[in-house]
Amino acid sequence: MATSAQVTGAWILLAIYIIAVLYLVFKGAGKTKNISDYALGSVLFSPIAVGLSLAASMTSAATFVINPGFIANFGISGVLSYAVFLPLASMISLVVLTKSFRKHGQTVKALTLAQWIGKRYESKSYAFFMGLLALLLITFIVLIVVALTKVISQALNLEEINVMITLVLFVFGYMMYGGANSMVYTNTIQAAVMLVVAVILLTSGFEHFSDGVHGFLDKLAAIDPLLAKPINPESPLFRNLYEIIFAQLIVGVAIVVQPHIITKSLLLKKESDVNKFLITAVIAEMLFFAVVIAGLYARLTFPDLQLNGEPLANDNIIPAYVLQVFADGTLAVIIGLFVVLGLIAAGMSTLEGLIQSVSTTITSDLIQPMMGRKILTDITLIKINKASIVAMAAVTIYLAYGQLLNPKLSVGIFAQNGVYAYFSAAFVPVIFGIFFKYVRVQTVFAASIAAIAVHFLVYYGLPLLHQQQPLSLGYFTTFIEGKVRNPAIAVSSAIVISTLTGLIWHVFNKKKLITA
């Protein structure tokens, strides 16, 4: 539990944070006149501000709170997966895809990724389909809400459910008004705080390196030899090189096609700003990804993963570590509270981006098309957008309640399953739309269907069949066993098969056109 000094300080910091956020929301809301302003903004932001905003929204509470918990549980194998191979692939993908997507995005004047896909392939039904799939991103919203709840409830010594409901009402409430204009302001400040906190967390365990890197690894090995090894066969996520390297490289490349990430470059008004934007985003992002190393420090602090005789759940490890390490002395308490603020900022930044992108998708890609030829004014669309945010808040509270009470290892598994399913379906239409000049909508539609089918078949179908009648899938059998399964296996399988489906269909259609 937090000390009285930590609780008092946390309340003061939260009050200051809330006042600052509401001020920025009010400032941005005054410049939001229509749904386009809400989605893309009407203010000319600097490329550095947008780059920091991207880094903040791309890095969430998953990176600062949830993933370090996995590293505390499973060791170096998780660091290689989450801090080396995943970021390497995602940063290369970000640089390659951003410039091309920006050009296409400006040409078709798209507000959302689903709209971009629909206009690129001249198919309203496909846009509607991708809009429906974007609802899967609510699982990621739930992850962030749960992570923030863990941090705030431990810092204030409050009940998790009450904190969660208050948090949802506050964040979803102010996002009904601000949109992109206020989000870039808040994200930039949050990113600045996160940069400082990332450095604090990365240096918080330097005393463990008194005997060098080998001494550090020896300390981990003394707790559990597998913690110091590059592969942890007893973990559900880092059992072999396929999970640690191949699956994470695929996830890293595909993760960029999430709407709150790939559409961020559309906030830039000048082409000359793109390079500054990317350099800023990549440098900040690589530092943020490295924060998972703090999970190793946490394991050395809690060797048996217990606090006061009680087991530490995966999602509680980093909040407990921060309160434990920064508890002695006034300066330590102040630094610890600033770190808590940084953890909150890490969650809020992505949460805002997801609420903005998903609500815009509901309004522009689902409700507006269903209204048919009815003329919807800017005022009406804004009202619909606010109503969709209210509905999202209700669903989030319901799902977060379940994850707080009965998580399967971590809320991270729940979120990955939903988010990975979405971007496995979005991957081929975005990639083909950027790099292929002529592509039939049937080609990418088939690829998206294949992605969704394979993802859920691998994650749910095959394990269920395996329980009823053991399957012999060779090397792959391991991945469908156990109570906790790795969503990266499902999504990597889905993306590979989806891409092959798209390529085969594309080649067949090209031959058909030539013959005709």
38 or 269, higher pLDDT: 269
Strand partners, 311: 306
Residue pair 64/55 in contact (Cβ under 8 Å)? The answer is: no
The pLDDT of residue 515: 45
- Average pLDDT of span 217-228: 96
CA 235 to CA 75: how far, in whole Å?
A: 10
Confidence band (pLDDT; 50, 70, 90) for 23? confident
CA-wise closest residue to 477 among 492, 494, 458: 458
Confidence band (pLDDT; 50, 70, 90) for 279? very high
Residue 371 tokens read as 């209204």
The pLDDT of residue 480: 83
The pLDDT of residue 368: 84
The pLDDT of residue 224: 95
The pLDDT of residue 514: 46
- Average pLDDT of span 229-239: 93
CA-to-CA separations, 349 to 41, 494, 496, in angstroms, rounded? 16, 29, 31
182-186, 245-249, 447-451, range with the lowest pLDDT: 182-186
- Average pLDDT of span 209-227: 94
DSSP symbol at 313: P
CA 484 to CA 487: how far, in whole Å?
A: 9
Give the chain's domains with CATH numbers: 4-30+60-515 (1.20.1730.10)
Q: Residue ranges of the alpha helices (H) in 362-406? A: 368-370, 378-405
For the cut 70, the answer to whether the pLDDT of residue 13 exceeds it is: yes
The pLDDT of residue 162: 95
Mean residue pLDDT of the chain comes to 85
CA 510 to CA 178: how far, in whole Å?
A: 46
Q: Residue ranges of the alpha helices (H) in 158-293? A: 160-175, 180-203, 212-223, 241, 247-254, 259-262, 274-290
15-19, 74-78, 199-203, 245-249, range with the lowest pLDDT: 15-19
The pLDDT of residue 111: 64
Residue 230 tokens read as 């590059």
Most confident of 23-32, 104-113, 251-260, 428-437: 428-437
| Chain center to CA of 444 | 24
Element (H or E) spanning 311, and its range? strand 310-311
Confidence band (pLDDT; 50, 70, 90) for 511? low
Query: Which one-letter amino acid corresponds to residue 29?
Result: A
374 or 67, higher pLDDT: 67
pLDDT digits (tens, 9 = 90+) for 299-309: 999 999 998 88
- Give 355's contacts (C-beta < 8 A, 6+ positions apart): 141, 171, 172, 175, 389, 392
CB atoms within 10 A of CB 77: 26
CA-wise closest residue to 320 among 187, 304, 275, 331: 304
Q: What is the dihedral of CA 443, 444, 446, 450, to 10 degrees?
A: 140
43 or 487, higher pLDDT: 487
pLDDT digits (tens, 9 = 90+) for 119-130: 889 898 999 999
Interhelix angle 4-29/138-156, nearest 10 degrees: 140
- Give 350's contacts (C-beta < 8 A, 6+ positions apart): 56, 57, 58, 59, 60, 61, 62, 140, 144, 260
Query: Which one-letter amino acid corresponds to residue 140?
Result: F
Confidence band (pLDDT; 50, 70, 90) for 490? very high
- Average pLDDT of span 17-27: 78
- Give 410's contacts (C-beta < 8 A, 6+ positions apart): 66, 69, 70, 313, 314, 315
For the cut 80, the answer to whether the pLDDT of residue 435 exceeds it is: yes
pLDDT digits (tens, 9 = 90+) for 390-430: 999 999 999 999 999 888 878 888 988 998 999 899 999 98
CA-to-CA separations, 96 to 81, 90, 101, 279, 496, in angstroms, rounded? 22, 10, 9, 13, 19
- Average pLDDT of span 491-510: 91
The pLDDT of residue 338: 87
- Average pLDDT of span 324-337: 85
272, burial (CB in 10 Å: exposed 0-12, middle 13-18, buried 19+):
exposed
pLDDT digits (tens, 9 = 90+) for 178-211: 655 556 666 677 778 888 999 999 999 999 998 9
Element (H or E) spanning 28, and its range? helix 4-29
CA 387 to CA 45: how far, in whole Å?
A: 28
For the chain, percent of residues with pLDDT exceeding 90 = 43
- Average pLDDT of span 279-298: 93
CA 472 to CA 465: how far, in whole Å?
A: 11
CA-wise closest residue to 323 among 314, 311, 336: 336
The pLDDT of residue 217: 95
The pLDDT of residue 185: 67
CA-wise closest residue to 144 among 58, 204, 81: 58
385 or 376, higher pLDDT: 385
Confidence band (pLDDT; 50, 70, 90) for 481? confident
The pLDDT of residue 483: 81
Query: Which one-letter amino acid corresponds to residue 249?
Result: L
Confidence band (pLDDT; 50, 70, 90) for 38? low
CA 96 to CA 119: how far, in whole Å?
A: 21
Query: Which one-letter amino acid corresponds to residue 327?
Result: A
The pLDDT of residue 516: 40
pTM greater than 0.75: yes
